[in-house]
Amino acid sequence: MHANRKRWGGPAGLVLSLAIAIGGGAAHAAEPIEPLPLRVELDAAKVALGDKLFHDKRLSRDGTIACASCHRLDSGGVDNSPVSTGIDGAKGSINAPTVFNSGYNFRQFWDGRARSLEEQAAGPIHNPIEMGSDWSQVLGKLRQDPALTAQAAAAYPQGLTEESIVDAIATFERSLITPAPFDRYLRGDGSAIGLGAARGYELFKDYGCVACHQGVNVGGNMFQV
């Protein structure tokens, strides 16, 4: 259903259209927006290791910044700041995007320079105004932790390496999904959202917003200029 689809003529038609949508929910196969999955199948050991690494400030040079410093899980996956703060109080030039549902973006970072979550996870470690570290420093510190080393060995045959660290963090991030009532509506549950929200969704499609805002994340599927 796109902006150029046939529209009902007048208010009565709009009410009829909404009644159909509300009664049975959205027809998933025909919708430009796809519902988030209810769950994802991931390796539990890798998710647990990634969770620990995501919150580990030893990834930064001075031990003050973790992934969770800018991507707070208790605050929508962001830090609620105009720009993020890195080591030594350094300020970035842009705000942090949310980590929630980020596995469904076709690129990572606002400028799309990373093609995967794994590639993205390594970026801040080397950025001089974010974590300002390198793999030699990171591995040197983490491998001194017997408990973390054992946990990594249980999840990865090679143990703690550059590859296992970014894979674990990315796997954890893929577990951070937020299915909502709107996703139930997209699956056909017409009672999941109210009439106003359903009408808003119809207008969202009719006005062409879905030309850019579609897919699982209601965006994040294309470069825009």
H or E element, residue 15? helix 11-24
The reply to whether 130 belongs to the active site is yes
Q: Per DSSP, which regions of 27-140 are E strands?
A: none
Contact between 201 and 22 under an 8 Å Cβ cutoff? The reply is no
What type of residue is 108? Q
Active-site residue, selected from the candidate residues 31, 118, 130, 202: 130
- 3-state secondary structure (DSSP) of residue 126: helix
Cα separation values, 146 from 55, 134, 143, 153, Å: 17, 21, 7, 10
Give the single-character DSSP code of 221: S
Distance CA(120)–CA(122), nearest Å, equals 5
Tokens found for residue 164: 């296992």
Q: Which residues are catalytic?
A: 130
